[in-house]
A and B are shown apart, each in its own frame.
Chain A
Amino acid sequence: MAGTIEVKKAACYFCHMNCGMLVHVEDGVVKKVTGDPEHPFNQGAQCPRGAAAMDHLNHINRVNYPLKRVGERGEGKFKRVSWEEALEDIATRLKKYKEEYGAESIATAGGTNRTDDWARRRFFNLLGSPNVVHTSPVCWIPNFLIETAIYGWSAFDPEIMGSRCVVVWGHNPGASYLPEMRGLLEARENNGTKIIVIDPRYSETAARADIWLPIRPGSDCALALAWLNVIINEELYDADFVENWTVGFEELRERVQEYTPEWAAEKTWVPAEKIAMAARTYATSRPACIQWGVATDQLGRATSAVAQARAVLRAICGNLDVPGGDVMPGPHPTFITDVEMELNELLPEEQRAKQLGADRFKLSTWPGYKLLNEQLERVWGKGLPAEWMCEASPPVLWRAILTGKPYPVKALIVLADNPLTSYANSRLVYEALSKLDLLVVMDYWLTPTALMADYVLPAASWLERPVLTTTYGVSDWLIASERAVQPLYERKTDYDFWRALGIKMGQEEYWPWLTNEEVFQYRLEALGYGLETYEDFVQGVRFDFAPREYYKYVEKGFATPSGKVELKSSILETLGYDPLPHYVEPPFSPEATPELARDYPLILIAGGGFMPFYHSEHRQITRLRLLHPQPRVAINPELAQKLGIKEGDWVWIETPKGKVKQRAKITTAIPPGVVQAERGWWYPEKGAGELFGVWESNINACLDDDPDTCDPACGSWCTRSVLCRIAKVEG
């Protein structure tokens, strides 16, 4: 119908936030994208990526048709094929690998929440392979799982607006989650909320802090333990809660005696008195909350120890599930959550046992998942999704592809992910990808990883698909958003892909829903709104926030074996880990590896979000790229002077794993012994022959992912405390 103008309520997928967007569509063409004022997160606003959404939709370099490799692997030569031809060939080959090597020889790597992950897991469970990975070991999951072991869900919903003190730990919402940053500043303006920021760098968020603790990179565990020491010895904890709702307090008290503020001062570079003062502020400003931040998920073998100490801090200070504290939402009671869509029960026990890494990283794989879900199902009625919470280990997967041990891995399906820039040890990842028999990549763009593929499949972006925001199915609220337009060209959603491939593989009976909208409608029906279609739900309801309940443990108990907060965790003990908080030094540091430190004397922080990009995305959006054309490594002026480096110089960053170059950003935001390099860099403007320049500035090429350096419980590799040296690029 000519002249039709509609305003669609969509949700942005350019980061986790899923901000609400109003998309003005004229005769089926997107004309304008603005923020949705009714949306609770962004309240009508946009970040630069959201504002530039149309550049993404209509970009000349988007992949619009299925492509099949015709040259050598990685050469970048493809020909256009039909979806039918691509799916038929992929399915035929997958059947062959399953027949010859077992279903476990087929694996998949996913990205950050641009997809319906439950559909991927459904496909893989039906296929019979446990080898599903994400970057989950370095993003949220270690914290989530450790918290769940200790108190039966993650307390990930900090109620900042009612809080008297917010601890922002290893997190910089000022450059990543802008609506969260607004919430923090408004809490302080309205309620006088104290903001404590823990970050080695003077970040956008640290610059707004009441108390900033500039710790040595990776020493978070020492700080958390010293806080426990101060809070317990000065009796600042919530004695009633500790007495009635925890087990193991006396052992905890005994354990933390050695972790004095003076001990921690040496480890963290923060004066003991300041550590103690911050601990007192946190403990005596109740209710308080500790926000999750990704940095502490990336400390290698020290990762879960930080999460453990911090979980215990929350608990003994009486902040769990209280108004203004760390609220544990639990699963949505009636909505059909992700785990209920995954068909995990169909994956046979013997296939679960083959999950790569399950023999050593036991909390983040089937052994831990089973123990946790038994408790969660008992108390909450449902457990955690296996996506993210129960996955194979990526470093072990790459090595299995390379060595054929413990068994051959022949095929990898990658969606919304660019492993060459997103996983540590990029050269090893490259070798692994090179060795695959079949690599399928579904993406918006030809990425460096897509260049290596046998098939590249065109992905629909958020303007072309409905979005159901459920925080991976671990929250008690959901937000439904609609597609603005049908996918352009031959782009498809990941659901369409898994369903179509599933049907080719003989899974037809398990994929009755034709479209995303149909399956979303199925999942929403039990909410009882009585609406006939998903679109009706978006237009009429859209937001479903369960009435907030606090102190849920009073009625339910905590979802742990004892029904209490286990300061000494029986689940961790059963899995063979230290049940009490303890100190672990990250794998690469002057203390852990003094010999390495002689040649590589600087501490490298490899990561940290920065505007206007998200992970390795958006480098091809010219408007955004002009704001930040090249990668930058932050260097203190004192160090720069010593090395003869000037602002804007290209600088080599070198570790035993490799060297890459970034431009010097000389700043006092970082101390002289530390440098911070940006992550995710590749150059879409460079040719396919150079793999889009993926070896030039991609800091993951400098990082190690040796499983022996990874977190023993969750397999996290280390990015935030690495040893390096730098030098000006000559010539």
Chain B
Amino acid sequence: MHWGMVIDLRRCVGCHACTVACQIENNLPLGETWNKVLTVGPEGDFPLLVSHFFPRPCMHCEDAPCVDGCPTGASQKRPDGIIIVDGERCIGCKFCMLVCPYGVRQFEADKGIVQKCHLCYERLEQGEMPRCVETCQLKARHVGDLDDPGSEVAALLKQANARPLYPHLGTKPSVYYIFP
């Protein structure tokens, strides 16, 4: 079992519903986001333009620098591939924030710890989709078992232009994008 996500950038319109739903689901303080959506472009000269939006959750890397670099073992990889932070063990040293090449980790000042997207693993365990997947009006996000060749995510990965962000870094993300 290896949970993964495929985000179809041809679909995303940058509405930020996932950002907001994630904040509410995880009871985040106002202003903290685990699920930013970045705007790319438009690039070019009017009217020859390209642009897209780029949702950026935790990549849940197989070779996760944040797990390797955590001095207390707070950052952990679960057997199902999801990277979580054990808040009890985190000392707020922020080293993981330095080594994460995707910038997805957030320091929670009031608690003095680092947190981030955990793929709503509790919902997954109950057979529910992560909240960001559920709320997406454009159905740009898909979640499933990357190990199961019959899964929807496996089928999507066969499409052209499906690849993770910065594959050359060797972190082996579990989040893939279908680029426009």
Contact = CB atoms under 8 A, between A and B. Distances in A.
Interface of A: 34-35, 42-48, 50-52, 54, 174-175, 178-179, 181-182, 185, 202, 204, 207-208, 212, 214, 611-612, 622-624, 626-627, 636, 667-672
28 contacts: A43-B139, A45-B134, A45-B136, A46-B21, A47-B15, A47-B17, A48-B16, A52-B24, A174-B13, A175-B13, A182-B137, A182-B139, A202-B49, A207-B51, A208-B10, A214-B47, A611-B15, A623-B23, A623-B30, A626-B30, A668-B43, A668-B45, A669-B46, A669-B49, A669-B51, A670-B46, A671-B46, A671-B47
A27 B103 CA distance: 41
Contact of A185 (B14, B136, B138): B138
A624 B46 contact: no
A255 B23 CA distance: 58
B167 interface: no
Contacts of A636: 46
B19 to A, nearest CB: 7
B104 interface: no
Nearest to B137: A178
B47 to A, nearest CB: 4
Given A51-B20, A207-B52, A612-B16, A46 B135 contact: yes
A668 B44 contact: yes
A310 B99 CA distance: 57
A406 B139 CA distance: 54
B31 interface: yes
B109 to A, nearest CB: 16
Contacts of A207: 42, 49-52
Chain B CB within 10 A, most for which of A35, A636, A670, A671 = A35
Given A612-B16, A669-B42, A51 B21 contact: yes
A51 B18 CA distance: 9
Interface string B1-27: 000000000110111110111011000
Interface string B129-145: 00000111111000000
A35 B128 CA distance: 13
Nearest to B47: A214
B151 to A, nearest CB: 19
B19 A181 contact: no
A343 to B, nearest CB: 39
Given A178-B137, A182-B138, A214-B46, 20 more contacts: A42-B137, A45-B134, A45-B135, A46-B21, A48-B21, A174-B13, A182-B11, A202-B42, A202-B46, A202-B47, A611-B16, A612-B20, A623-B30, A624-B20, A627-B19, A627-B20, A667-B42, A668-B45, A671-B46, A671-B47
Contacts of B137: 42, 45-47, 178-179, 181-182
B51 A45 contact: no
A50 B17 CA distance: 8
Contacts of A204: 13-14
Given A34-B134, A185-B11, A204-B14, A51 B24 contact: yes
Contacts of A182: 11, 137-139
B15 A48 contact: yes
A51 B135 contact: yes
Contact of B30 (A44, A47, A622, A668): A622
Contacts of B136: 45
A617 to B, nearest CB: 15
A351 B51 CA distance: 55
B172 to A, nearest CB: 29
Interface of B: 10-11, 13-17, 19-21, 23-24, 30-31, 42-47, 49-52, 134-139
A202 B15 CA distance: 16
B137 to A, nearest CB: 4
Contacts of A174: 13
Contacts of B21: 46, 48, 51
Contact of B138 (A181, A669, A670): A181
Contacts of B50: 207
A48 B20 contact: yes
B135 A611 contact: no
Given A207-B52, A626-B31, A612 B15 contact: yes
Contact of A48 (B11, B19, B43, B139): B19
A190 to B, nearest CB: 13
A612 B49 CA distance: 24
Contacts of B47: 202, 212, 214, 671
Contacts of B45: 668
Contacts of A185: 10-11, 138
Given A45-B136, A46-B21, A668 B15 contact: no
Contacts of B46: 202, 214, 636, 668-672
Contact of A35 (B15, B135, B138): B135
A46 B20 CA distance: 10
Contacts of B134: 34-35, 44-45
A44 B23 CA distance: 18
Contacts of A623: 20, 23-24, 30
Chain A CB within 10 A, most for which of B14, B45, B47, B139 = B47
Contacts of A44: 134
B21 to A, nearest CB: 4
Contacts of A611: 14-16
A668 B42 contact: yes
5 closest A-B pairs by CB: A178-B137, A174-B13, A48-B20, A45-B137, A51-B21
Contacts of B139: 43, 45, 182
A50 B135 CA distance: 9
A101 B15 CA distance: 50
A707 to B, nearest CB: 35
A48 B134 CA distance: 12
Nearest to A671: B46
B17 A51 contact: yes
Contacts of B20: 48, 51-52, 612, 623-624, 627
A204 B39 CA distance: 11
Contacts of B42: 202, 207, 667-669
B13 A627 contact: no
A417 B167 CA distance: 51
A181 B13 contact: yes
A667 B46 CA distance: 9
A669 B134 CA distance: 31
Nearest to A50: B17
A152 B126 CA distance: 52
Contacts of A179: 137
A261 B154 CA distance: 48
A219 to B, nearest CB: 15
A612 B136 CA distance: 14
Contacts of A672: 46
A204 B51 CA distance: 9
Contacts of A51: 17, 20-21, 24, 135
